[in-house]
Structure 1
Amino acid sequence: MALPFRDINVQVAPDAYTFTSPSSPNAPTLVIDRPTGDLRLSEAAAYPNKRISRVSSIAGILGTIKLRLDKYVIVVTKAQPMGRLKGHMVYKVISTDFLPMRERQIRDPDEDTFLALLKTFVMPGPMYFSYSLDLTNSFQRQASMDSSTPLWMRADDRFFWNRAVQSDLIDFRKRGSRSQPGPQAAADPYILPVIWGTLEIRPTTVKGTPLTLSLITRKSRFRAGTRYFTRGLDEEGHAANYNETEQIVVLNDPGSGLGGFAGSADMQSGKFGASDGKEMQILSYVQTRGSVPAFWAEINALKYTPKLQVRSIESALPAARKHFDEQIRIYGDNYLVNLVNQKGREKRVKETYEQLVETLVSSPQEGVKADSRTDEKFHVIEPGSSKQAYDRLHYVYFDYHHETKGMQMHRAMLLIDRLQDALVAQQYFRGVDMPANGGLETRNFQTSVVRTNCMDSLDRTNVVQSMFARWTLDRMFIDLGILERGENFAAVDRDFYFLFRNVWADNADTVSRAYAGTGAMKTDITRMGNRTNAGKLQDLNIAIKRFYLNNFRDGPRQDAFDLFLGAYDASTANIGPSLVFADRRPILIQSVPYLLAFSVFLVFVALFTRRVPDSAVLPMRLFILFWAAAAAWCVQFILKNGMLYVNWPKLNPRPWAVEGYQETISKVRKDKLLGAFVAKHERGLSTARYLSAEEGKKRIE
């Protein structure tokens, strides 16, 4: 079994980067020639090159990426052990380094910006890996796989976060190169799959029974991005903010021993046998979340509630079919829990989702339940038959907003009551580790999945997912004999309940930071078990931060995701110096925020500067009034033309952003004060980028 090398030395020379594994001296050496970036395997002895400038120890190769001027090898220079899961050590990426193919003599602003985006927004992200355990697949999927297959070949393509930057290595492994044609199996140990998301491993006890509680959230690399710039589905059926969360309980999991690229009791597998001769049991429960599977967008224009755009059901249907084809194939029946509001601006998204489900399933049967709080507490759509695959979709709308109003958070448990029969039938995965067979022996399967969403698939979704996880965990403990029937761990073991709540709250914060830029709202419910006034103040603080980040900082963050995940090819950006990231708005429009700051500064100077005795008051008052009026005009202009001041993604412009920009700039040309001064030639995004965005818009329509 070709597992990734735990210890790699990289030798830096002017003509090549050479990667070797000290613990596997007979393994071929990976050589990346400079400056071409060509890959080859060499049987040469260690340190053959007399011109080596340095030798460094690294934890693994994250991949290679080609930017505008040069190609870089991204290496993991430091990894932190997070604990053992099923006997395998798991690590978090702490620091990385970019090794350039060329020693650049000149500075290119765009190249520097590309590198800065990756180093600022992607490299510090929560990335995890294991040398011997497949973190991209749930334990249920792992149980049906051939464990002798190289780790990267077993990886779930959706959660193989560094798949795009590993493409050079993978292509070389599959096809070789001109100098070494054919498959290169010896390259397998250099390919290291990484996930992005949450990974918590907590050894603990429940009523005196030792066990390990783990939570893994895997963020999909498809349609990954930021809150307002990535909504709904793409044409391939990939949903925005799609995450798979697996809650794992391991009994008799060995948790001791040194591990890492620095050393291990078992360097080949990193695995230890079960303690005290007891069989190791793994129980896991999987949930998913993702944006409402339709074509929709929220268009920020410096307003707290962005304009909502929802495209027709007919245009979204092919993408929705692709999305649910994959979901049903992987998970079986899908229980689609929708938590968006049934009134106000979110109503259109709710109705679109319901119309899509009604179109997909056979003979849809609807049921609506009301109560004193709301006219539509539940809205259920079930297929009337089982003629086709889409009849495995079961839609359940829950009016979370009205049911929990007034801090009545316990009423969210009504959703558990409504879905109880489905949850009982759903089961969970249970397997026993069989070291002799090299894998898991399955004792029980999870046969369906709950797919939860709210508007962002963050705050409300986090609360509801933790409820499903808690209900299922009680069931696991009862089946294991840890709890008596009728008991729940929240009542009998307060310490474990505290641990459980905080693990899920940490998960909520991690998923939220990746998408919205802040921690999650409503985590007081998850951490404390109820809504608190302090939690409300914290949510207000988060709301203000999100408004700022989503309007002024998310453009570069979206660009960084697109760059790393292969949604944008930086090597095609050879269109002239400093054109990719340059601000091409008319200079007068760019100057308005600076005029605002200058006006406010002068007003404060005038107000707080000591006045000379006997000086005239009227000129100073006129001065203050003039600059206050200038500041007011600037504020009014910015808010009225907010589309011009949002920090949009520059690498893959959103069609609605291009359209809105053009409409807004046309209005500015008619402005009585500025219109005559704004250049007729609009220098916004480059013509090439407008054309590509328009083509994308036509394809979506």
Structure 2
Amino acid sequence: MENGSFSGGFRLYEELELHEFQDKFVIRSKESPSDGFSIGRREGKIEPLSNDTYSTSPYKTSTIYGVVGTIRLLAGTYVLVITSRNEVGNFLGFPVYRVNSMRFLYCNEALKLSTSQEKRDEVYFMTLLRIVESTPGLYFSYRTDITLNLQRRYKLMDGWMTKSIWKQADPRFVWNKNLMEEFIECKLDMFIILLLQGNILNNVFFQTASLELKGSPGTISLISRRCTRRLGTRMWRRGANLEGDTANFIETEQILEIDGFMSSLLQTRGSIPLLWEQIVDLSYKPQLKIINNEETSKVVERHFHDLSQRYGGTLALDLTDKHGDEGQLGTAYALEVENLPNVRYVHFDFHHICGNSNFENLEALYGEISEDFEKQGYFLIDAEGSILEEQKGIIRSNCIDCLDRTNVTQSFLAQKSLNLQLQRIMILAPNDFFSTSENYGKFRTLWAGQGDELSLEYTGTYALKGDLVR
């Protein structure tokens, strides 16, 4: 399949020059120097380049790799730019970069005219901006939108993919959505980079005798997209809001490319969509508390209605403990979900059944959900771009943090789907399994790396079960 089918030919400027003057910043494309804009340092006003932009020489010139957007505080505007990046993989054949460092350009000269209290407030907010500068796990591409999954992208492709990249995007997964507004108003489409918080990993596997891959190399990619609607860190951000958005909601897509075929499996994870919290104290495992609210049923309904609209029928897979605080939360969840249309709730006490690293016991779970899972299917296209299969539903997994138990289970289901996909395109014989090949170790490493990345974003630490997944 041609890359152009996915890019629409739209490409952002990849390297920019940042010129710093006493009264303004000027940002312009290196490949097209006449295309750029200036930002006043007093009020943060954005203007196109003009003949008098360079009436004096800049006192400093540097290279930047993208403009993330602007934030307006009490007395100034702050422009966030990417100062370093590294290429980490690809998405549908296009390079993907990870943000290594960012910097705020301060356009706050008006702060000098502010009151003492305004200055103190501004300084406080500026300290929060430094946290933004160090946000982990941000990815972007100059050539294509990485927020859309393959199935949705493919079905929107006619005309849609010729739009500016920011117009193509799934807004749930655009980390800098609110920061881009001024650049959108100024029609600076060639400069508007979309940042995805999550994880993108690629791995290549080759023919082995047991796999009978016909000499064709194949690539597995994992793309995890973290929703921006209820961001926050573990303990401090739990459950759902009144709109039905949940903490740590992540769409994970596994893409297989081999022999001209391309297939995709989507799974989601997210905090239990009730109104609940965890009281942070000095204990190792702070107490969970369900918040009694007359809107609870509506919250759950809104959450699953959104999922069904986007993905189809949903299997809600709850991996929490059966007893204690987790058990009470799971019971409340089950009661709310049982009467919803197009949703099946399944509880699987992961710690009890798979304790002491007995992950082979996940086969018991698969026996319970295999009919639904295989009916949901996966997305598959051939070398000509014809749709052979479509994914008709989604498994939504959760534990408490939606990290360790969830990642182990999702990797298990992804491997099951990979078997079905390879058998469907006759790369594997009906009785062959990807899990018996020497490439399975690379697959596990890929999923373990994703688990570490997502855990760092939500908790600040690596995944506890990462070594076991490996």
Task: Calculate the TM-score normalised by the size of structure 1.
Answer: 0.61
Residues 517-571 of structure 1: CA deviation (Å, up to 9, x unaligned): 21112223211xxxxxxxxxxxxxxxxxxxxxxxxxxxxxxxxxxxxxxxxxxxx
Give the structure 1 partner of residue 83 of structure 2: 77
Whether the aligned pair in 2 keeps the contact of 1:82 and 1:90 (CA below 8 Å) is yes
Q: Deviations over 1:601-657 (max 9, x none)?
A: xxxxxxxxxxxxxxxxxxxxxxxxxxxxxxxxxxxxxxxxxxxxxxxxxxxxxxxxx
Letter in 2 for 1:488: F
RMSD: 2.3
Task: Give yes or no for the alignment of 1:48 onto 2:49.
Answer: no
Asked whether 1:479 is paired with 2:459, we answer no
Distance, in Å, in 1 between the alignment partners of 2:365 and 2:398 is 14
Q: CA–CA distance in 2 between the matches of 1:167 and 1:356? A: 38
Residue of structure 1 in register with 2:285 after alignment: 305
5+ residue gaps, structure 1, are: 174-183, 253-279, 362-390, 435-439, 528-701
Q: Is 1:451 matched with 2:431?
A: no
Aligned equivalent of 1:428: 378
Partner residue of 2:323? 343
The letter of the residue matching 1:302 is L
**Structure 1 residue aligned with 2:308:** 328
The letter of the residue matching 1:522 is K
Q: Is the 8 A contact 1:282 1:432 kept in 2?
A: yes
Shift of 1:193: 0.4
Aligned equivalent of 1:505: 448
Q: Give the secondary structure class of the aligned counterpart of 2:20.
A: strand
Structure 1 residue 50: Cα displacement: 1.2
Q: Tell me the CA shift for residue 155 of structure 1.
A: 0.9
1:291: Cα distance to partner? Answer: 0.5
C-alpha contact (below 8 Å) 1:209/1:482 kept by paired residues: no
> 1:142 deviation in Å?
0.9
Partner secondary structure for residue 419 of structure 1 = helix
Matches within 5 A, 1:92-241: 92-102=98-108, 111-120=122-131, 123-145=134-156, 146-170=160-184, 172-173=185-186, 184=187, 187-207=188-208, 208-241=215-248
Task: Summarize the Cα distance change of 1:398–1:521 in structure 2 as closer, same or farther, 3 Å threshold.
Answer: same
Q: Determine the C-alpha separation between the residues in 2 that align with 1:45 and 1:477.
A: 60
Total equivalences in the alignment? 448
Which residue number corresponds to residue 63 of structure 1? Answer: 69
Question: Between Structure 1 and Structure 2, whose CA radius of gyration is higher?
Answer: 1
Is this contact kept in 2: 1:313–1:356, CA < 8 A? no
| CA distance in structure 1 between the aligned counterparts of 2:122 and 2:258, rounded to whole angstroms | 50
Question: Cα distance, 1:424 vs. partner?
Answer: 1.5
Query: C-alpha offsets along residues 364-395 of structure 1, whole Å, 9 cap, x if unaligned?
Result: xxxxxxxxxxxxxxxxxxxxxxxxxxx21111
Indicate the residue corresponding to 2:410 in structure 1: 465
Q: SS of the counterpart of 1:52?
A: coil
Which region of structure 1 is more displaced relative to structure 2, 419-428 or 448-457?
419-428
Q: Quote the residue 2:20 is aligned against.
A: 12
Q: Is the 8 A contact 2:138 2:196 kept in 1?
A: yes
Q: Distance in 1 between matches of 2:82 and 2:278?
A: 36
Deviations 1:178-197 (A, max 9, x none): xxxxxx3xx11111101011
Q: Is the 2:96–2:140 Cα contact (8 Å) retained in structure 1?
A: yes
Residues 287-338 of structure 1: CA deviation (Å, up to 9, x unaligned) = 0000001001110121223222112363212222221121111101111000
- Match for residue 267 of structure 2? 287
Question: 1:17-52 CA distances to partner (integer Å, 9 max, x unpaired)?
Answer: 2222132345x422222211122333x369633142
Deviation at 1:8, TM superposition (A): 1.7
The structural deviation recorded for 1:354 is 0.9
Give the alignment of 1:426-575 within 5 angstroms.
426-432=376-382, 441-491=386-436, 493-494=437-438, 496-527=439-470
Gap change, CA 1:19 and 1:407, over 3 Å in 2: closer
Identify the range of structure 1 (509-518 vs 228-237) with the bigger mean alpha-carbon deviation. Answer: 509-518
Question: Aligned partners of 1:122, 1:516: CA distance in 2, in Å?
Answer: 18
- Specify the alignment match of 1:255 in structure 2: none
User: C-alpha separation between the residues in 2 aligned to 1:64 and 1:154?
Assistant: 21
Greater mean alpha carbon deviation, residues 408-417 or residues 499-508:
408-417
Q: Distance in 1 between matches of 2:92 and 2:425?
A: 18
More off after superposition, 285-294 vs 477-486? 477-486
Q: Which runs of 5+ in 2 are unaligned?
A: 1-8, 209-214
Cα distance between partner residues in 2 of 1:294 and 1:204: 41
Q: Structure 2 vs 1, CA of residues 45 and 212 (structure 1 numbering), >3 Å: closer, same or farther?
A: farther
Q: TM-score, normalised by structure 2?
A: 0.89
Provide the C-alpha distance between the structure 2 equivalents of 1:454 and 1:2, rounded to a whole number of angstroms: 40
Task: Quote the offset at 1:213 in angstroms.
Answer: 1.4
- The whole-number CA distance in structure 2 between the counterparts of 1:509 and 1:417 is 28
Is the CA contact (8 Å cut-off) linking 2:235 and 2:280 kept in structure 1?
yes
Distance apart, 1:59 and its partner CA: 0.9
Say whether the 8 Å CA contact 1:231–1:298 is kept in structure 2: yes
Letter in 2 for 1:194: L
CA contact (8 A) 1:294 1:313 kept: no
CA distance in 2, matches of 1:76, 1:156: 22
CA contact (8 A) 2:68 2:193 kept: yes
Letter in 1 for 2:107: M
Closer/same/farther in 2, CA of residues 165 and 206 from structure 1, 3 Å limit:
farther
Structure (1/2) with the larger helix percentage:
1
Range 515-524 or range 219-228, more displaced? 515-524
C-alpha displacement of 1:123: 2.4
- Aligned-partner Cα distance in 2 for 1:111–1:128: 29
Whole-angstrom CA distance in 2 between matches of 1:163 and 1:448 = 27
One-letter code of the match for 1:343? H
CA distance in 2, matches of 1:115, 1:497: 47
> Is 1:29 aligned to 2:9, yes or no?
no
Deviations 1:142-161 (A, max 9, x none): 11221101111111111001
Higher strand share: 2
Give CA-to-partner distance per residue, 1:245-288, whole Å, 9 cap, x none: 11111236xxxxxxxxxxxxxxxxxxxxxxxxxxx432111100
Distance 2:77 2:162 in 1: 33
SS of the residue corresponding to residue 473 of structure 1 reads helix
CA spacing shift, 1:122–1:413, aligned 2, 3 Å? farther
The one of 251, 257, 264 equivalent to 1:244 is 251
C-alpha contact (below 8 Å) 2:239/2:274 kept by paired residues: yes
Q: Distance in 1 between matches of 2:287 and 2:262?
A: 46
Partner Cα distance (1:283, 1:337) in 2 = 23
The alpha-carbon distance between structure 1 residues 318 and 431, as it changes in their structure 2 partners (threshold 3 A), is same
